[in-house]
Structure 1
Amino acid sequence: MRILVTNDDGIHAPGLKAAEAVARELSDQVWVVAPETDQSGVAHALSLNDPMRMRELGNNRFAVRGTPTDCVIMGVRHIMPEKPDLVISGVNRGHNIADDVTYSGTVAGAMEGTLLGIRSIALSQTFGIAGSDRVRFEVSEEFAPGLIRKILAKPGPQGTLYNINFPDCPADQVKGTEVTVQGRRNVEQLRVEPRADGRGIPYYWLAFNRKRSDPAPGTDLHAIYNGKISVTPLRLDLTDHASLSDLADSLA
């Protein structure tokens, strides 16, 4: 099995090493193609107006000056001698659940793999609400290989990727795995922080509010908050099928 590993935190991120370790538990044919710099929050962006530059780092490892989507395309269309059987994107520093999914470069790496007809999985490791000084990537490394084997054991539907998030607790305290739906936070996640530079000219940071939601059972948020691994199948088809008939009637 040929595996392509990418991420959005960059080629030097510790989570990428964790993802590579997971991949090597599954196969000895592993290629790593990751962004040269941190690309968190770029979602499914492509580099269309700037050239992509690439550095070969040895042992099937490559750094691309571009987005996670760029990296998957480069890996599949240019670097790897044959199309991969699996794309692993991650392990992200921080979870990608609920609203995060639409912003996530990690999830986008798996999306691009899925668009190219490749089984694709996004991996993310939750860290504590107090900050990211201690990220338990060892939890992802312990549980991800077994979960991926189970997912690959059955043929998956076309156009579906798998978004796996690991809780912030020691591996021996993980309370199981739950198949979940994408949740929705009921608190504001992002805020704008105004600041000023040394000349008094204003600039702004987007910052996260570290507040917990009150999620419904069955959601990715609820699983993570309760110490479980969350596995969410995500479809590329964003159509709201339930609304099609009503909309057609309204526009008739």
Structure 2
Amino acid sequence: MRVLVTNDDGIDSPGLAALTRVALEAGHDVVVAAPSREFSGASASLLGAQEDGRLVVEERTPPGLDGAVRSYAVDAAPGLIAFVAAYGGFGPKPHVVLSGINRGPNTGHAVLHSGTVGACLTASTHDIPGLAVSLVGHDPTHFDSAAAYAAQALGWLVESGGHDRVLNLNVPDLPLAQIQGLRPAHLARVGAVQAQVAHEDAGYLTVTYADVEHDEDPDSDATLVTRGWATISQLRAPVADAGVTLPELGPLG
């Protein structure tokens, strides 16, 4: 099975190599295509740098991997990388997209803004299932713990066969033996951070971010991961909502 591994932290992030090894150890044919620089918060953006109308791509091996894995540094957001991969930009169309391992959480409705998740949502619109993996901590180090749960989630994703399935996995930054286990979880009402906006001089706004200290929902992904559980949630790319009756009008002119 062909697997594309990408992320939003950039090709030099240690989580990228850890997630790539998960796919290799599962026996998959792996290609790495990750942003040449950090693209956190890029969502499913199709932003990319071009020279003479061509996307800038460089063959580069991520730290922690050897040259046997085909690897590309792309001056583009992860959503665009997944989009290009769906059209054969990095070899044959992948069967699965893995994104991460992200440094920090991707929980709650803030996943809308995540480049890690955005790559998988973009892939799903091209009938490619995806797994987004995040390691929850300010400066996380236990990538082996996230990789262990990612291996289990990848196996289930492959076996389930859903072409538009997107799984969002968050793992506490703890030694593997200290993690409580894996729990299905719904998205918290808010993400891991909230913003505050202040009006300054004319023409300026100051935006600051602070950690969310408490979520009242005991079964949300944000709450469970703070209690030492790895969480998994299934997401869907934007779809039309047929549950509401909208007005219909004739010509107005």
How many equivalent pairs are there? 239
Note the C-alpha offset of 1:109: 0.7
Aligned mates of 2:122, 2:97 — CA distance in 1: 9
Note the C-alpha offset of 1:231: 0.6
Note the C-alpha offset of 1:238: 4.4
- Aligned Cα root-mean-square deviation (Å): 2.8
More helix by share: 1
Q: Does 1:66 align with 2:69?
A: no
Cα shift readout 1:218-252 (whole Å, capped 9, x = no counterpart): 2211221221111100011344555x1xx54x889
Gaps in structure 2 of 5+ consecutive residues: 61-66
Aligned mates of 2:23, 2:86 — CA distance in 1: 16
Most deviating of 31-40 and 99-108: 99-108
TM-score (normalizing by structure 1): 0.83
Note the C-alpha offset of 1:217: 2.7
Cα shift readout 1:80-122 (whole Å, capped 9, x = no counterpart): 3322111101110001000320110000011111111112111
Aligned mates of 2:240, 2:147 — CA distance in 1: 34
Aligned mates of 1:63, 1:96 — CA distance in 2: 23
Letter in 1 for 2:35: P
For 1:146, the equivalent position in structure 2 comes to 152
Given that 1:42 and 1:104 are in contact with CA atoms closer than 8 Å, whether structure 2 keeps it comes out as: yes
For 1:92, the equivalent position in structure 2 comes to 102
Aligned mates of 2:196, 2:222 — CA distance in 1: 20
Q: How does 1:1-252 map to 2 (within 5 A)?
A: 1-47=1-47, 50-51=50-51, 52-57=55-60, 58=67, 59-127=69-137, 131-132=138-139, 134-156=140-162, 158-185=163-190, 189-192=194-197, 206-240=207-241, 242=243, 244=244, 247-248=245-246
Letter in 2 for 1:212: E
Given that 2:128 and 2:164 are in contact with CA atoms closer than 8 Å, whether structure 1 keeps it comes out as: no
Given that 1:126 and 1:135 are in contact with CA atoms closer than 8 Å, whether structure 2 keeps it comes out as: no
Note the C-alpha offset of 1:135: 3.0
Given that 1:45 and 1:67 are in contact with CA atoms closer than 8 Å, whether structure 2 keeps it comes out as: yes
Cα shift readout 1:177-201 (whole Å, capped 9, x = no counterpart): 1111111139971235899xxxxxx
Note the C-alpha offset of 1:29: 1.2
Gaps in structure 1 of 5+ consecutive residues: 196-201
Percent of matched pairs sharing the same residue:
28
SS of the aligned residue for 1:112 comes to helix
